[in-house]
Amino acid sequence: MNERSILLVEDNPQDELLILRALKKINLANRVDVARDGQQALDYLFCEGEFAGRSGGLPAVVLLDIGLPRLSGLEVLARVRADPRTRLLPVAILTSSDEDRDRLRSYESGANSFVRKPLEFTEFAETVARMGIYWLATNRPPMG
Amino acid sequence: MSSSSRKRFILAVTAGYVVFGLAWIFLSDQLLAAFTDVGAMLWLSTWKGVLFVLASAALFHVALRALPAADAGNAPQTLEALAAGLVPGGMPRWASYAFAIAVSLLMLLIRDAVAVQFDERPLLILFMLPIVLAALFGGFGPGFTATLVCAVGVAYLVIPPQNSLHIAESHDVLQWVFLIGSGTAVSVLTELLRRAMAKVELNRRLLDTVISGTSDAVFIKDQEGRYLLANRATGEFVGVPAGQMIGRDDRMLFPEDSARALQEIDRTIMESGQIQTHEEELRTTDGRAFVFHVTKGPVHDNGGRVIGLFGISRDITARKQAEAQILHLNADLERRVAERTKDLELANIELQNLAYALTHNLNAPLRAINGFAQLLRESHGSTLDAEGRDCLDQILLASRSMGALMDGILALLRCVSGPLREQEIDLSALAAAHLATLAQAEPQRTVAWTVEPGLAVRGDVAMLKIALEHLIDNAWKFTRGRADARITVGHGSADGQPGLCIADNGAGFDMAHSERLFQPFQRLHRQEEFPGIGIGLATVQRIVRRHGGSIHATATPGQGARFCLALPGLAASPERLHE
């Protein structure tokens, strides 16, 4: 496995805990960086603001929630797609919503995947673990 | 006066005058011939002329009075005057007979008094006067009576031999017969004249009643636009007594713009020669505004040339105002309905958005409750006692059912508000596929299920799939525990309409509670018997309603339930699918 990481953009601390817990189970927790709102996520990706000195390049995938404070998930996605540096960055939406509307808009905005957070934790943990493995190990990134 | 009755009238007057004149000439010349004395001849000739003038003047008087008034503008008054004195001898019948006899006897007396001077000549011409007068004032009966009285009187008193009805001389007989003939003819002609006049008068009165009495303006104008006739209503609308309108045109009666508009319309009608119905908006000089429903047409002379124009105008101002008001009220109502509808739609959308947001936002805390309870059980289950683990199980159970509730609410919301994407749906295939899936998922259950092929309808496949599958899920659920479980999906009758029915032989329910069946969160079974959230049937009903259909349930506790969907356009024939 290469050294790429996952950027988890999640404002709900409990969801964050549960996701980290699920990834920890498959020993991937140490490769997750967390941004707690949209602006922070962009700062992380573009190495700006509090992440000005960050090194390590782009993550293998961004797990992006839709309902976020400051910049919404779809706005973050739009900025990511608009910037040449992150234009091809894999972005997977991970959200509570199961609305057709949200799904459609996510794909229209250039999401690579859309996953609904299952309510049942067993299922939730499985889903997150599968995503972690898929994006870090199975999926071949556009560059590098 | 109609032209045919007018012609008859003229004919009667002319014929009457000819008969009267001829009779006079023949009889009076006979009379003159009897004289040798020039003085007596002159005297008689003068009196003969005077009598002729009197008699013909009486005849002319009657005839001329029957002619239409030249000034038709004063029609009502003129007609009334005519009506009072038109038919001479408006006296009772007996009086006119008495008059006939009296004038006849009077003439016999006069004849007797002047007889000496005439050398005992009969002078029968004198007796035409009483006959004519009697006929003129009483018609045929009195005229003929006067003729008879005169004839008998003359024969008895005047014609030799006197005091006897016998007539000696043959030329006297001729004169006597001629008197009777003339008298009878005059009586008959006068009677015809009277009848013609009465008819004319009747027509005139009827017309006058209509024209004077109607609330519509009735008028006639000449080619220059001057009023020849205007009824009372016309005068009231214009604000001038109708009599004063005669001879004046619209420029003198209306403000300039209205007058110009009227003259323009009148000119068009007189040029086209067509009768036309239209609306006129007029302002009067005193500032009143009217809307008239007008029929105007040309008036022709005998040669067929247009010599003027008639018009009938009905005041529809009030009706127009009412119409305008109704239009205004309707527009206002529509605007208000649109406003309310928009408000309602906005409120509805807001409520739905709220429901969505609520449901979604409850997801995260619920996932946390479920997740951490699960983690607690996994990681620390060993340090908890049985009661502690049981508590955790209840928390997990509760979070799961809450999750199911929220999914149910979201599904219901989607079915109520989402768009309908219509397409042809093979319901039989959907039902069979779902039953097969259920059977595969629970191989330990034996359920005898059948699906009638060819059930098809146009509708939203996603929604109808939810509805159908939910009803099948219910049938599957409520037959649990029956060794001979049976589920049939097929064509049936729902409330008199063709429908799709899903029947089972499961737990059923009490029909007394059937009205609660389709309300959200209403359940007819205890959770531990048959778990569920009680929102499925509510969703099914909304879906069916959105497809213009209805759902009907029948059941017997312990024996099964039958749900029928009446769906417009439902086909039961397999051919439908291949059309």
DSSP characters for B63-121? HHHTSPPS-GGGHHHHHHHHHHHSSS--S-HHHHHHHHHHHHHHHHHHHHHHGGGGTT-
Out of A23-32, B111-120, B260-269, B401-410, which region has the weakest mean confidence (pLDDT)? B111-120
| Cα B388 to Cα B180, B368, B372, B401, distances in angstroms | 147, 19, 14, 20
Chain A contact set for B356 (CB, 8 A):
99
Please give the structure tokens belonging to residue B396: 């997990």
Contacts (Cβ under 8 Å, ≥6 apart) of B293? B277, B279, B313, B314, B316
Helix, strand or coil, per DSSP, at residue B486: strand
* pLDDT > 70? residue B5: no
Q: Please judge whether B367 and A98 are an interchain contact, meaning their C-beta atoms are less than 8 angstroms apart.
A: no
* pLDDT > 80? residue B39: no
Contact (Cβ atoms closer than 8 angstroms) between residue B221 and residue B234: no
Chain B contact set for A67 (CB, 8 A):
360
Q: Please judge whether B363 and A14 are an interchain contact, meaning their C-beta atoms are less than 8 angstroms apart.
A: no
How confident is the prediction for chain B on average, in pLDDT? Answer: 83
Contacts (Cβ under 8 Å, ≥6 apart) of B314? B215, B216, B217, B292, B293, B294
Residue B487 has a pLDDT of 93
Q: Please judge whether B364 and A96 are an interchain contact, meaning their C-beta atoms are less than 8 angstroms apart.
A: yes
Selected residue of A119, A122, A124, A128 to mutate for chain B interface (largest B Cβ count, 10 A)? A119
Chain A contact set for B375 (CB, 8 A):
18, 21, 121
Residue A41 has a pLDDT of 94
Q: With an 8 Å Cβ cutoff, is A21 touching chain B?
A: yes
Shortest Cα distance, chain B CAs vs residue A53, angstroms: 33
Residue scoring higher pLDDT (B75 or B249): B249
Nearest CA in chain B to A12: B364
Q: Which helix (H) or strand (E) holds B373?
A: helix B317-380
- Facing B371 at nearest CB: one of A67, A98, A121: A121
Q: Please judge whether A21 and B375 are an interchain contact, meaning their C-beta atoms are less than 8 angstroms apart.
A: yes
Shortest Cα distance, chain A CAs vs residue B360, angstroms: 6
Chain A contact set for B373 (CB, 8 A):
121
Residue B85 has a pLDDT of 46
- As a dihedral over the C-alpha atoms of residue A93, residue A97, residue A102, residue A107, rounded to 10 degrees, the angle is 30
What's the rounded mean pLDDT across residues A45-54? 89
- Facing B367 at nearest CB: one of A99, A100, A117: A117
* pLDDT > 90? residue B33: no
Residue B577 has a pLDDT of 42
DSSP code of residue B160:
S
* pLDDT > 90? residue A83: yes
Residue B332 has a pLDDT of 94
Portion 26-85 of A in contact with B at CB < 8 A: 67
Contact (Cβ atoms closer than 8 angstroms) between residue B309 and residue B273: no
Residue B574 has a pLDDT of 45
Residue B291 has a pLDDT of 92
CA distance A22 to B306: 106
* pLDDT > 60? residue B215: yes
Residue A108 has a pLDDT of 95
* pLDDT > 90? residue B44: no
The pLDDT tens digits for B57-97 are 777 777 776 665 444 444 444 444 444 444 544 567 888 89
CA distance B413 to B542: 10
Contact (Cβ atoms closer than 8 angstroms) between residue B265 and residue B245: no
How confident is the prediction for chain A on average, in pLDDT? Answer: 90
Is B419 buried (19+), middle (13-18) or exposed (0-12) by CB count in 10 A? exposed
Q: Please judge whether B370 and A119 are an interchain contact, meaning their C-beta atoms are less than 8 angstroms apart.
A: yes
pTM of the model: 0.51
What's the rounded mean pLDDT across residues B505-517? 83
Q: With an 8 Å Cβ cutoff, is A121 touching chain B?
A: yes
Nearest CA in chain A to B378: A122
Strands A32-35 and B497-504: unpaired
What's the rounded mean pLDDT across residues B115-120? 63
**How many CB contacts within 8 angstroms connect chain A with chain B?**
51
What are the residues facing B552 on neighbouring strands?
A: B564
Out of A59-63, A125-129, B506-510, which region has the weakest mean confidence (pLDDT)? B506-510
* pLDDT > 70? residue A49: yes
Q: Please judge whether A121 and B374 are an interchain contact, meaning their C-beta atoms are less than 8 angstroms apart.
A: yes
Chain A contact set for B363 (CB, 8 A):
96, 117, 119
What's the rounded mean pLDDT across residues B504-521? 82
Shortest Cα distance, chain A CAs vs residue B568, angstroms: 28
Please give the structure tokens belonging to residue B83: 């009506």
Please give the structure tokens belonging to residue B46: 């003068």
DSSP code of residue B274:
-
State the complex-level ipTM: 0.85
- CA B297 to chain CA centroid, Å, is 24
Q: Please judge whether B367 and A18 are an interchain contact, meaning their C-beta atoms are less than 8 angstroms apart.
A: yes
What's the rounded mean pLDDT across residues B100-117? 82
Shortest Cα distance, chain A CAs vs residue B371, angstroms: 5
Q: For residue B119, name the pLDDT band (cuts at 50, 70, 90).
A: low
Scanning A4-37, the segments in alpha helix (DSSP H) are 13-25
Residue A81 has a pLDDT of 95
CA distance A7 to A80: 13
- The CATH class for the domain spanning A6-137 reads alpha beta
Scanning B418-561, the segments in alpha helix (DSSP H) are 427-441, 461-478, 536-546
| Cα B574 to Cα B228, B255, B464, B565, distances in angstroms | 83, 79, 19, 19
Residue B66 has a pLDDT of 64
Chain A contact set for B366 (CB, 8 A):
119
Q: Please judge whether B400 and A119 are an interchain contact, meaning their C-beta atoms are less than 8 angstroms apart.
A: yes
Secondary structure (DSSP) of B10-54? HHHHHHHHHHHHHHHHHHHHHHHHT---HHHHHHHHHHHHHHHHH
Contact (Cβ atoms closer than 8 angstroms) between residue B291 and residue B281: yes
Q: Please judge whether A96 and B372 are an interchain contact, meaning their C-beta atoms are less than 8 angstroms apart.
A: no
Residue B507 has a pLDDT of 86
Residue B75 has a pLDDT of 46
Q: Please judge whether B363 and A12 are an interchain contact, meaning their C-beta atoms are less than 8 angstroms apart.
A: no
Nearest CA in chain A to B376: A121
The pLDDT tens digits for B315-362 are 999 999 999 999 999 999 999 999 999 999 898 888 888 887 787 788
- As a dihedral over the C-alpha atoms of residue B518, residue B521, residue B527, residue B532, rounded to 10 degrees, the angle is 70
The pLDDT tens digits for A86-136 are 999 999 999 988 788 889 999 999 999 999 999 889 999 999 999 999 999
Contact (Cβ atoms closer than 8 angstroms) between residue B570 and residue B527: no
Nearest CA in chain A to B413: A99
Chain B contact set for A124 (CB, 8 A):
367, 371
Chain A contact set for B369 (CB, 8 A):
none
Q: For residue A144, name the pLDDT band (cuts at 50, 70, 90).
A: low
Residue B121 has a pLDDT of 67
